[in-house]
Amino acid sequence: QVRLQESGPGLVKPSQTLSLTCTVSGVSITTNYYSWTWIRQSSGKALEWFGYIHYNGNTYYSPSFNGRTSISRDTSKNQFTLQLSSVTPEDTALYYCAAAKSLHDIVVGTPEYWGQGTQVTVSP
């Protein structure tokens, strides 16, 4: 069974870099099947996707975040990480990591597997 678990700080100060880690079990992140992605849900807003890291290590980012996003991985730990720089209070949201079969699934918000989500608040 594929499981994903987010971890990271719940509170970040404005202008800092947010770093979240997703630990995956049940499948290797290098398996030729899934793309590994980060998505968030802000209060009153639609789901927003940051980008993904493919099983081969290639990355693709949503242009919506103007270059503030970086996704990397540690294959020895079966983890992948989101870094979001220059955060503001508008980045306060519930952050999810997920596994998807295609970019289309990511964009429309239908990845196959999701973590439970972690709340991040940006405040002084």
Identify the pLDDT of residue 33.
87
Q: How far apart are CA 34 and CA 100, in angstroms?
A: 5
Mean pLDDT score across all residues of the chain? 95
Q: Is 100 a residue whose pLDDT tops 90?
A: yes
pLDDT in tens, 51-70: 999 999 999 999 999 899 99
Residue-wise DSSP of the chain: --EEEEE--SEE-TTSPEEEEEEEESS-TTSTT-EEEEEEE-TTS--EEEEEEETTS-EEE-GGGTT-EEEEEETTTTEEEEEE-S--GGG-EEEEEEEESSHHHHHTT--SEE---EEEEE--
Q: Is 32 a residue whose pLDDT tops 90?
A: no
pLDDT above 90 covers a percentage of the chain that reads 87
Encode burial over 32-47: b for 16+ CB neighbours within 10 A, e otherwise: eebbbbbbbbeeeeeb
